[in-house]
Amino acid sequence: MADTIPPWERVRGMVPVSLCDWPGKITCVLFAGGCNLRCPTCHNASLAWKWKSLPSLNRETVLADLRRRKRWLDGITLSGGEPTCVAGLDDLLADLATTGLPVKLDSNGSAPDVLARLLRGGLVQTLAVDVKGPWSLYPGLTGQGMDAEMARDALSQVFDLARQHPGQIYFRCTKVPSLSPTDLEATRAQVPEDLPLHFQEYVSPRNSDDVS
Ligand code: SF4
């Protein structure tokens, strides 16, 4: 059955000011609950899988707060969970655009068609997309959410998208404990040389009992 939950009901977290979620920018971070993957190293498992137990944020309150603080912010980061899983995502982003602030969206890269639509529509200015590791390790890295072929196919489409939208997409790989130095080299090698891939340190899950 199609997801009919209004998009703002999926917004289940906010960090008013962040210096590290959009490199070089001061942003307010909003978190969309829900994810189609089940990475055993998920940094925010409650938000990904048990988001309905978290309080939702009020649309008008958030938008008014963003407008009030606009002069001190460079933009908004929409993270998750996986924002591309949100039905009505375009409406949510259109609401955020009314603040006049640019938006960066974080994604696991599993829905290249959605990412293409958002870029074409000017609904996001920047995308940060995960490359979780070598394609062959995707089943374990994503809790069987993506196999090697799915990962290669989806991310290859995002690589093409990055070339069509220069400077708007960058790729990230988190150095989770199961990735060896050789795996990290293989990850870099499978991303085209002309596209940026940032390796970031692994942060332990906030609630280890949520990761199962
Ligand atoms: S894609 Fe991100 S939010 Fe989803 S399970 Fe993996 S680490 Fe968690």
Superfamily the domain 7-210 falls into: Aldolase class I (3.20.20.70)
Ligand 1 atom 6 nearest Cα: 39
Question: Which of 77, 105, 108, 178, when mutated, tests ligand 1's pocket best, judged by the most ligand atoms within 8 Å of its CB?
Answer: 108
Report the distance separating Cα 77 and Cα 112, nearest Å: 19
Rounded alpha-carbon distances, angstroms, from residue 6 to 33, 67, 86: 12, 22, 9
Q: How confident is the model at residue 3 (pLDDT cuts 50, 70, 90)?
A: confident
d(CA 76, CA 179): 31
Q: pLDDT-based confidence at 152, cuts 50/70/90?
A: very high
Q: What are the residue boundaries of the structural domains of the chain, listed by start?
A: 7-210
What is the CB neighbour count within 10 angstroms for residue 158? Answer: 22
- The pLDDT tens digits of the residues spanning 74-115 come to 999 999 999 999 999 999 999 999 999 999 999 999 999 999
pLDDT at 208: 38
Q: Which of 143, 172, 173 is nearest to 37 (CA)?
A: 143
CA of 48 to the centre of ligand 1 (A): 6
CA atoms within 13 A on the CB side of 30: 27
171-208 tens-digit pLDDT:
999 999 999 999 999 999 999 999 999 999 998 765 43
- What ranges in 39-147 are assigned the alpha helix state H? 45-49, 59-68, 89-97, 112-120, 138-141
Q: What is the pLDDT of residue 23?
A: 94
Is the CB of 69 within 6 Å of ligand 1? no
32 lines ligand 1 (CB under 6 A): no
| pLDDT confidence band for 2 (50 / 70 / 90) | low
- Centre of ligand 1 from the C-alpha of residue 50, in Å: 12
